[in-house]
Amino acid sequence: MAKLVTSKLLRTLALLAIYLGITYLWPPPAGIKETDWRLFAVFVATVSGLILQPLPGGAVVLIGVTASAVVGGLSIKGALEGYSDSTVWLVMAAFFISRSLLNTGLARRIALIFVRAFGSTSLGVTYALALSDVTLATIIPSNGARSGGVTLPIVRSIAELYGSLPGESAGKLGTYLMLAVYQSICVSAAMFLTGQASNPLAAQMAGQQGFPITWTSWFIAGAVPGALSLAIIPRVVMWMSPPAILKTPEARVFASSELAKMGPMSTAERILALIFVGVCGLWATSGWHKMDITLTALLGCAALLLTGVLSWEDVKTETAAWDIFIWYGGLLRLGRALNDGGVTTAFAKSIGAQFTDSGWVLLFIVALLIYFYAHYFLASITAHLLALYPPFLALLILKGAPLGLVVFAFACFTNFSAGLTNYGTTPSPMFFAHGYATFPLWWRVGFVCSLVNIAIWSTFGFGWWKLLGIW
């Protein structure tokens, strides 16, 4: 207990040292007001707090928002403006809908249906669970909720069906499934605006730079490179860690028996399925009817509340959603204030001065690789995005790089960079903790898969975006 208190104290002091160091030892760039520079110091300390975690992330951000009104030149009303942003409420609404998917069992039913259809081989099981995650990613913005609450229990159950347990028997099937399914869910997170909680934040930042992103435009952009990655990555993992069991007919039997136990779809599931399809359909066609996707999501929540599929108690106890509300809205406001104060642009200019003789192409390649592999030092996709996305975006825009290419490349690459380590995003420690893969194997597979994903997205992906006119 004493060690824990000491560790938290040291991490808190480190954040204070970061703030004081930037404020008093690092002079602000020319043209930046002192209040904006102090706000920058608050922002850096806050993002560092998300990495060091002396307190839970929401608490760190709430303190940062408060500090921005004390020393950062914002009024308290201005500091709290992020909580009225429609993007924040989009994420909240999606979390409430996802709670209904988990509570009613519809999410599990969807995953089992895919396993029953495609699960006759170990590769097929991986594809089935990847496809179920893709389906759920259309509306569930939490990769932890999707994989931890739905996918992971099915992976473990199928492995145990074949006597594959952590230890000597792990290599029969469990090791392959854990590695291949985890790498797949990192890809599906990159394919949708709702694939991961920080994706709407990236879209918000892109919009501030003059490149609006919708649910449909992200889906179309991610569809081709994402489908290729999902097709190839499980085979790459099989090459690196081949399972002893290749045929898995019992997996289909297991899925069928579990579906039989669930019985026919309940009334709540049928209502939810109708609302699920309706919300996704309205998101996909927002370019035609011009209805804001946040309004669509809130209408879906209202329908679930009115029909009783979602209770107000569910809304109140959805702690993950309220936690995200605090840190998401706060960071959104801090980032916007920095942009308004010109800090991000000044930072980009200082970096760009080191590459005065380089064109945007070389700088883009170097920056993207640095950005991607920096995730070895980060345990959060959101912290990664907040720390590095704005300055690299501003830098490459100043260098004349195509805005659409930069926006989508950095936003999507953030997600599958989480496959590098066993702590790269919320689901990674969940999968790793089951003990089916060793630390060295997990990292080797993560690195090789990163090379494959980068190759796919930087060739077929960039080419697809060129055809779409994104750049």
- Model pLDDT for residues 293-317, shown as the tens digit of each residue: 889 889 999 999 999 999 999 999 9
Share in percent of the chain as helix, strand, coil (round to 5): 80, 0, 20
* Structure tokens belonging to residue 46: 């806050």
Spatial contact of 208 and 336, defined as CB atoms under 8 Å apart: yes
CA atoms of 143 and 122, how far apart (whole Å): 22
Q: Write down the pLDDT at residue 107.
A: 84
Q: Does residue 386 sit within a domain?
A: yes
Maximum Cα–Cα distance for the chain, whole Å?
A: 68
Q: Write down the pLDDT at residue 95.
A: 81
Q: Does residue 196 sit within a domain?
A: yes
Closest CA to 73 of 42, 46, 45, 35: 35
Instruction: Give 67's pLDDT tier (boundaries 50, 70, 90).
Output: very high
Q: Does residue 155 sit within a domain?
A: yes
Q: Which residues pair with 247 in a beta bridge?
A: 121
Q: Does residue 382 sit within a domain?
A: yes
Between these two residues, 19 and 378, which has the higher pLDDT value? 19
The C-alpha torsion from 96 through 99 and 104 to 105, rounded to 10°, is 140
* Residue 349 pLDDT exceeds 80: no
170 dihedral zone (left: phi>0; alpha: psi -120 to 50; beta): alpha
Q: Write down the pLDDT at residue 352.
A: 66
* Structure tokens belonging to residue 376: 């070895």
Q: Is the dihedral of CA 102, 104, 110, 112 positive or negative?
A: positive
Mean pLDDT, residues 398-411? 93
Q: Does residue 48 sit within a domain?
A: no
Closest CA to 431 of 253, 180, 98, 260: 180
Q: Is the dihedral of CA 238, 228, 111, 264 positive or negative?
A: negative
Q: Does residue 17 sit within a domain?
A: no
pLDDT tens, residue by residue, 155-195: 888 888 888 989 889 999 999 999 999 999 999 999 999 88
Number of domains present in the structure of the chain:
1
Q: Does residue 330 sit within a domain?
A: no
Q: Which residues pair with 121 in a beta bridge?
A: 247
Mean pLDDT, residues 341-367? 77
CA atoms of 303 and 342, how far apart (whole Å): 42
- Which domain covers residue 123, as residue numbers? 85-309+341-471
Q: Does residue 146 sit within a domain?
A: yes
Alpha helices of 105-151 — where are they, by DSSP H? 106-118, 122-137, 143-146
Alpha helices of 150-214 — where are they, by DSSP H? 152-161, 174-191, 199-208
Q: Which residues, 6 or more positions from 87, have their beta carbon under 8 angstroms from its beta carbon?
A: 200, 201, 203, 204, 294, 332
